[in-house]
Amino acid sequence: AVPVRVRVLSPGGQVQLEKKIAGLTDPILSVDGDQLAFRTRRSTAVLDLESLSVTQYPRYASFAVDADGAVAGVVIGTNDIRLHNSDGSSIEIALPAAPRRLAFADDGNLLVVTSRTLFQVDPQLGAIRVLSALQGLGEFRDLRVLRGVVHLGARLMQGKGFSGHHWVLNGQGKVL
């Protein structure tokens, strides 16, 4: 794996941190932009961009980081999600299908998309609620939360081919 150079700059452009990280993939920012999460060959890591500290987690198939530092990850080879809350506690939640993408909503709830369903997970209780289910032939492919709005991508069968679709939802799963 090729090392990736990560530089954290101050608002004035001064280098605050510079690291070479071998095998860095899938970088994502928390909703507030204060934390950078990424996967390495051995782990999933979160770099706090204010304190410049790095926290290591098990290597996850897919992952998300919340503004308060909570981390959610799909346990490789399972339908399970492990939630590491900012208070140091963690819980594991089994879903009925393999999670594809994870994202934290502005209210702190975890959103999980499988090929056919969008779930909302309460990170404290582990309670699962269906927000949306795909009707017909096709699959959900992507999930993002930007400024409190949920963006859900799908590929649907139409005639003899497929077409891409983009839905915009509020935090309760209602199409906007």
Residue 176 has pLDDT above 80, yes or no: no
Residue 59 has pLDDT above 90, yes or no: yes
The per-residue pLDDT for range 128-153, each reduced to its tens digit, is 999 888 887 889 988 988 888 889 88
Q: Give whole-number Cα distances, 163 to 22, 152, 155, in Å.
A: 37, 14, 6
Residue 1 has pLDDT above 70, yes or no: no
The per-residue pLDDT for range 11-33, each reduced to its tens digit, is 899 999 998 888 888 999 888 88
- Residues 56, 44: Cα–Cα separation, whole Å: 6
Residue of 86, 59, 82 whose CA lies nearest to 70? 86
Name the average pLDDT for the chain: 89
Adjacent-strand bridge partners of 17: 8
Residue length, the chain?
A: 176
Confidence of residue 173 (pLDDT cuts 50, 70, 90): confident
Instruction: Give the per-residue pLDDT at 93.
Output: 94
Instruction: Give the per-residue pLDDT at 129.
Output: 93
Q: Is 93 exposed, middle or buried (0-12, 13-18, 19+ CB in 10 A)?
A: buried
Instruction: Give the per-residue pLDDT at 37.
Output: 93
Residue 115 has pLDDT above 70, yes or no: yes
Residue 76 has pLDDT above 90, yes or no: yes
User: Mean pLDDT throughout 158-173?
Assistant: 82
User: Mean pLDDT throughout 157-173?
Assistant: 82
The model carries a pTM of 0.86
